[in-house]
C-alpha cells in the first residue's frame, strides 16, 4: 500500500501546533530545556555577538532603534522581539524586515524533531514540554546563524534570568525602565523584578542601564558589581541633552559615550522615545567600542535614527480624523502615552478605544489615561485573554464617569463609533481635523488596529 505524502506545513498549521503549547505568559524558572535544545541544534546562539534588551517598557522600540543604527553602520542584523502585533513572522527579522512565512515554516520544520526529543526527555524526568516562546526563541537563533548575521538584537520575553533568550551570552546587556508587571512570576516589588531582569548581565558584558527607580537601579548595580562588568547609566554616562518637536517626530541632541550627536531626527513621538533613543545609541556605541575620543560616524547615526520605526507606538494610521495606535499595556506605558498626548498633540476632542488583557492592572491603566480622553469606547481585542466588555465598562465608568463611557462588542465597531463620536463633536467649521482617536490598552489591541487600517506587518 502506498502511503500518501503528508501535505506541506503552512504558517497557519505551524501556529496551530505552537498555540497548543504552554503560552509565553507562563514561564518556568529554568533554562534547562532551552540548553538541551540548543545543544541538539548546535548552539546557534554562539555564532554571532548578541545585544540583549530587557526591561518593562520600551524594549521593542529600543531594540528596533538599535537594529536601525547597526544596519546603517553596515552590519547585517537579526532581531527577535515579542510579542508581535499582527503576524508571528514579525518576531524574527533579518535586516530589519520580518522573515518570509516560508522561511519561518522551514526553520520550524528543521528544529521540530529536536523539539520532540527535548519534550520526551523532559517529561520522562517529570518535567514539562517546551513552550511556544522557547521554540520561537530557538527558531530565531537558528535563523540568525543560517543567514548568517553579524549581530543579533534579542528582546527578552518575560523577566531575564529564566527567560529562554538568556541561553545567549550577551556582549551588550541593555535594561530599559523597570516597573511593576507580571508580578505573579517576577516578584511583588520593583527591586525584586529588577533582580530577575538583571540576570541578562553576565561576565564580559557591558551593561547599558536606562533611567530607573532607585530601588531598581540598586538591584541592577549590585548585579554589575557581582559580575564585575563595565556599566553605563542614563543620566550619568549618556543622556538626552536637548529635545524639540518637529514635523513627523522630534529633533534631538544626544550625549553618547563617545561624544555629542547633534541634529538627530527621530520620527517617533514622546519623551519616552527620546529616552529610548539615548539608550539605543549607548548600546550601539558600546558594541562598537566607542568611548571618549572614539565617536561613531555622526552621519550614519543620523541616518539610522531617521529610518527608525516602532509600529504600534503612537503610530498614526489615518488622518481626518487622526487615528493613533499605541500598545500601552501597563500603568507605566499608559502614563507615557498620556504624557505624550498632552505634550505633543493638540486635539480639540480625543476619543479612546480601549481593550485590555484581563490579567493586567486594568484599573492602573485606565487611571493613567483618565485625563487623556473626552470619551472612551471600551471593547475587546482578538485575544482570548481580553477582558469582557461588561467588566471593562464597569471599571471605566468608575474612572472616567458614566457619561463618557461607551461600549462596542468588536474592535471594528468600536473604532467606527469612536470616529463618529470624534467627528460629531467637532465645532462648526472645524471639521474632523481637530479631532482624534487613540486605540490602546494592549499590544494585541494595537495589532488589531493596524490590521483594520490595512497596514502590513512590520
String of DSSP letters for 138-163:
HHHHHHHHHTT-SEEEEE-SSSSTTS
Which sign, positive or negative, has the C-alpha torsion 12, 14, 15, 16?
positive
Instruction: Provide the pLDDT for residue 184.
Output: 64
Alpha helices by DSSP H, listed for 307-388, are 331-344, 362-368
Q: How many residues does the chain have?
A: 458
Distance CA 161, CA 54 (A): 10
CA angle (234, 237, 241) in 5-degree steps: 70
Q: How far is CA 174 from the centre of its chain?
A: 13
Instruction: Provide the pLDDT for residue 455.
Output: 94
Cell numbers for 328, please give them: 500601552
Instruction: Provide the pLDDT for residue 264.
Output: 98
Instruction: Provide the pLDDT for residue 365.
Output: 97
Instruction: Provide the pLDDT for residue 5.
Output: 60
Instruction: Provide the pLDDT for residue 179.
Output: 83
**Whole-Å CA distances, 433 to 321, 322, 428, 436:** 6, 7, 12, 8
Phi, psi of 418 (to 5 degrees): -60, -40
Contact residues for 93 (Cβ-Cβ < 8 A; gap 6+):
67, 77, 78, 79, 80, 81, 99
Distance CA 229, CA 221 (A): 10
> Is the bond preceding 83 in cis, omega lying within 30 degrees of 0?
yes
Beta strands in 66-188 (DSSP E): 77-80, 92-94, 97-98, 151-155, 172-175
Task: Spell out, as residue ranges, where the chain has pLDDT lower than 50.
Answer: 1, 431-432
Instruction: Provide the pLDDT for residue 424.
Output: 80
Residue with cell 463620536: 421
Instruction: Single out the residue of 361, 201, 70 nearest to residue 62, CA to CA.
Output: 70
The helix/strand/coil state of 407 is: strand
Cell numbers for 344, please give them: 505633543
Q: How far is CA 394 from the centre of its chain?
A: 29
Cell numbers for 132, please give them: 511556544
Contact 359, 350 (CB under 8 A): no
Distance CA 242, CA 397 (A): 40
Amino acid at each position: 500500500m502506498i502511503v500518501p505524502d503528508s501535505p506541506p506545513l503552512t504558517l497557519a498549521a505551524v501556529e496551530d501546533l505552537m498555540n497548543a503549547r504552554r503560552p509565553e505568559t507562563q514561564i518556568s524558572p529554568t533554562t534547562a530545556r532551552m540548553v538541551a535544545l540548543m545543544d541538539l541544534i548546535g548552539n546557534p546562539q554562539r555564532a554571532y555577538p548578541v545585544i540583549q534588551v530587557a526591561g518593562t517598557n520600551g524594549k521593542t522600540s529600543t531594540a528596533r532603534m538599535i537594529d536601525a543604527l547597526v544596519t546603517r553602520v553596515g552590519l547585517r542584523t537579526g532581531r527577535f522581539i515579542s510579542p508581535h502585533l499582527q503576524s508571528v513572522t514579525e518576531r524574527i527579522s533579518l535586516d530589519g524586515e520580518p522573515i518570509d512565512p516560508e522561511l519561518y515554516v522551514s526553520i520550524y520544520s528543521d528544529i521540530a524533531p529536536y523539539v520532540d526529543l527535548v519534550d520526551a526527555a523532559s517529561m520522562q524526568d517529570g518535567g514539562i514540554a517546551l513552550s511556544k516562546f522557547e521554540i520561537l526563541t530557538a527558531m530565531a537563533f537558528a535563523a540568525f546563524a543560517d543567514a548568517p548575521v553579524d549581530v543579533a538584537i534579542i528582546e527578552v520575553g518575560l523577566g531575564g534570568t529564566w527567560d529562554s533568550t538568556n541561553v545567549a551570552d550577551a556582549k551588550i546587556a541593555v535594561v530599559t525602565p523597570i516597573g511593576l508587571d507580571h508580578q505573579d512570576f517576577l516578584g511583588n516589588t520593583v527591586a525584586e523584578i529588577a533582580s530577575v531582569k538583571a540576570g541578562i548581565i553576565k561576565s564580559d558584558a557591558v551593561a547599558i542601564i536606562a533611567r530607573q527607580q532607585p530601588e531598581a537601579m540598586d538591584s541592577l548595580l549590585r548585579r554589575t558589581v557581582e559580575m564585575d562588568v563595565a556599566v553605563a547609566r542614563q543620566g550619568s554616562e549618556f543622556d538626552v541633552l536637548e529635545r524639540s518637536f518637529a514635523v513627523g517626530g522630534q529633533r534631538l541632541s544626544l550625549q553618547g559615550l563617545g561624544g555629542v550627536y547633534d541634529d538627530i531626527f527621530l520620527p517617533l513621538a514622546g519623551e519616552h522615545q527620546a529616552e529610548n533613543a539615548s539608550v539605543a545609541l549607548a548600546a550601539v556605541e558600546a558594541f562598537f567600542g566607542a568611548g571618549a575620543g572614539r565617536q561613531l560616524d555622526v552621519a550614519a547615526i543620523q541616518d539610522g535614527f531617521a529610518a527608525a520605526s516602532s509600529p504600534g507606538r503612537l503610530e498614526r494610521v489615518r488622518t481626518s480624523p487622526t487615528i493613533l495606535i499605541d500598545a500601552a499595556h501597563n500603568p507605566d506605558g499608559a502614563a507615557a502615552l498620556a504624557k505624550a498626548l498632552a505634550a505633543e498633540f493638540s486635539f480639540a476632542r480625543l476619543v479612546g478605544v480601549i481593550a485590555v488583557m484581563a490579567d493586567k492592572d486594568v484599573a492602573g491603566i485606565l487611571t493613567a489615561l483618565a485625563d487623556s480622553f473626552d470619551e472612551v469606547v471600551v471593547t475587546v481585542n482578538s485575544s482570548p485573554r481580553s477582558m469582557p466588555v461588561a467588566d471593562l465598562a464597569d471599571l471605566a465608568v468608575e474612572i472616567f464617569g458614566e457619561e463618557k463611557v461607551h461600549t462596542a462588542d468588536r474592535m471594528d465597531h468600536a473604532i467606527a463609533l469612536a470616529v463618529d463620536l470624534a467627528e460629531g463633536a467637532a465645532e462648526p467649521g472645524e471639521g474632523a481635523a481637530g479631532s482624534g482617536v487613540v486605540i490602546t490598552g494592549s499590544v494585541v489591541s494595537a495589532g488589531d488596529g493596524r490590521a483594520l487600517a490595512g497596514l502590513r506587518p512590520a
